[in-house]
Structure 1
């Protein structure tokens, strides 16, 4: 769905694969499912936030999950996410949020 809005997307299903894509591709925003049967999405955000250099520390990250409670939202923020969304998302609003985060974080997009 995001691609139909002109968003460039790279997908990964494992933390190591996602980290490799992140380092090579350097996205403007990271979307990360935090509930997974294989690996916890918190593992990826922890690795991204501890990357050497500024890139991993400054890229906005959105946690996606089936349900968002206040505790889960706070935990996601403390883990290093910028926002936490429950799925399914309202795609128009979600793309607008992605755009705002990407533009705010990347002076080349302004």
Structure 2
């Protein structure tokens, strides 16, 4: 299927998107419907400033990411997440990041470290 935004200027430096599961709790939906690559729990990804580097370690060694810009929600969120999600996720839609390392990410517990 591919990435429909591949090599588009607005989406460069945004290879991986993160969202906090807590941002989606008002709608009681599967976090995967938010169309983000990585869903984390217990860490406010939206509070990270542009340029911040953090790492995620799923047990196979840390993978570092640099924060780019916010992953602002679009009107499609009202369709796939639920009515009101477009407005409700403003400021909580996640972040777009650039991976700085190659590595393995797995579903399940992981350590996330800022810095």
Normalised by the length of structure 1, the TM-score is 0.28
Higher RCO, Cα 8 Å, sep 6+: 2
Normalised by the length of structure 2, the TM-score is 0.27
